[in-house]
Amino acid sequence: MATGPADRLLADLKSSDESVRERATAALWHQWFHQKGVHGAQQLLSAQTFLDAGQIERCEDLLKDIVQAQPDFAEAWNRLAVLHFVRKDYWQAIACCQKVVELVPYHFGALHGLGLSHRALGNYTAAIQSFRHALEVQPYALINQRLILECTAKLE
């Protein structure tokens, strides 16, 4: 799965202690946002500010510039996936989530996003697979368990 410092954090996601899981979750998000240092994190924050302000085009332009300049910046791809999801461009969101998972196979946010996007398209089997993969990384994420049940019910 992961190598280096992320190994301990990934193990902590499986802890029975909720506070340990919460710290590990926060630490992984911090790593992902700061993969490209403070400047990279500031760029992502700017993109989120644009999105929150309804400045969708500015958000998209910035994120596309970031991933073009730094194609290995997984969280920039993830933020682009979020933007596409918000715009209901689910296939584009899926493509961006897949890029994130290619770069960071244990990115539970992108795995969850893949599931949400497939669910929105009615691809319930693919959604279930994505949510299950997210649960392998974050077994206590109750939202993924609930979404698996909801998608399974849609198959019947």
- What lies within 8 Å, CB to CB, of 13 at 6+ separation is 21, 24, 25, 28, 108, 137, 138, 139, 140
Segment 112-126 mean pLDDT: 98
* 87: in domain: yes
* 52: in domain: yes
Q: What is the number of domains present in the chain?
A: 1
Tokens 């989530």 sit on residue: 97
Structure letter (DSSP) for residue 106: T
Residue 44 lies in domain:
6-155
Q: Give the Å distances, CA to CA, from 142 to 38, 42, 54, 147.
A: 32, 31, 30, 9
Query: pLDDT, tens digit, for every residue of 94-103?
Result: 999 999 999 9
Q: What is the structure's pLDDT at 64? A: 97
* 45: in domain: yes
Instruction: Show the CA angle centred on residue 134, arms to residues 31 and 145, nearest 5°.
Output: 130
* 32: in domain: yes
CATH number reported for the structural domain that contains residue 101 in this entry? 1.25.40.10
| CA 152 from centroid of its chain's CA atoms | 22
Q: What is the structure's pLDDT at 3? A: 52
* 1: in domain: no
* 65: in domain: yes
Query: pLDDT, tens digit, for every residue of 29-86?
Result: 999 999 999 999 999 999 999 999 999 999 999 999 999 999 999 999 999 999 999 9
Query: pLDDT, tens digit, for every residue of 9-19?
Result: 999 999 999 99
